[in-house]
Amino acid sequence: MLEQRLFAYHFLRGGADPVETALDAHLNDDGGYGHALEPDLRGPVSQPLHTAHALRVLDSIGRCGGQRVERVCRYLTSVSTADGALPAVLPAQRGYPVAPFVPIVDDPPSELLATGPVVGLLHRNEVWHAWLFRATEFCWRAVDSLERSHPYEVEAAVAFLDAVPDRPRAEAAADRLGRLVREHRLAALDPDRPDAFPVAPGYAPGEHHFPHDFARTPHSLARAWFTDDEMARSLDFLAGEQQEDGGWPVRWRHWAPAPALEARPMVTIEALRTLRAHGRAVG
């Protein structure tokens, strides 16, 4: 239902209120979100990754502010680690089904993967909350210390750098990160020759990431990492991945039928939004 309402909002002139109503089905009393909003984490309990997903939805409909986001920030404060940042998965997930590639530990560490996109979204929406100060500093330290990485972590770093207020520092960090991406071949620059680019350890076979995955809009700092030809090939590949039923495939590891089925609508919406942002026709 949430993705149906989101599709209507983005492509059929639907309203934002029905999206919020559908999103509320995942909201818990603690101010966080659960109930398999991220399909690879089953069960009702609130998790940072679910809550980050909720913030992305609110951002996409222009509703990332007000009392709702104030409550989210209180939740983020309550689950943060000692250094003020977010772990990916809290141990409360135990007892509920979870993807086998998602580790659950008693004392989960802070992760840029979980913290960067949340901090970026809040900054882009000019949300000011005490939680942001230490979380922002954590993200700067994490980005500045990256010497080796993997695509999802780089995407999280880009989400942070695209919105953090210190633009000169963000541009310098993005320039260094782009060189790392090309040096370690983290982006498959030629979709016709995917085997020429390594798949990150722990990823599914063939789970490559392409220029459009890093630069989802032409305004992203990551767009400067790629030539016009590389970006055009990447967008051609993305457009060509649409399947006969109209949707796009889930490229990460499938571990059960339900999560893969539930992930496809959001993957499809993101593919359409990426294509449209880069000036491609979407129907």
pLDDT, tens digit (0-9, with 9 covering 90-100), for 110-123: 999 999 999 999 99
pLDDT, tens digit (0-9, with 9 covering 90-100), for 214-252: 999 999 999 999 999 999 999 999 999 999 999 999 999
SS3 content of the chain, % helix, strand, coil (to 5): 55, 0, 45
pLDDT, tens digit (0-9, with 9 covering 90-100), for 142-159: 999 999 999 999 999 999
What is the distance between the alpha carbons of residues 133 and 107, in angstroms, rounded to a whole number?
23
Residue 216: its H or E element: none
Contact assessment for residue 241 and residue 89, using Cβ atoms and an 8 Å cutoff: no
pLDDT, tens digit (0-9, with 9 covering 90-100), for 1-21: 999 999 999 999 999 999 999
pLDDT, tens digit (0-9, with 9 covering 90-100), for 256-266: 999 999 999 99
Segments of 111-251 assigned E as strands: none
What is the distance between the alpha carbons of residues 233 and 245, in angstroms, rounded to a whole number?
23
The pLDDT confidence band at residue 191, using thresholds 50, 70 and 90, is very high
Taking 80 as the threshold, does the pLDDT of residue 283 lie above it?
A: no
Nearest to 86, CA basis, from 136, 34, 130, 129: 136
Q: What is the pTM of this model?
A: 0.96
pLDDT, tens digit (0-9, with 9 covering 90-100), for 61-112: 999 999 999 999 999 999 999 999 999 999 999 999 999 999 999 999 999 9
Q: What is the mean pLDDT of the chain?
A: 97
**Residue 215, φ and ψ in degrees, nearest 5:** -110, 85
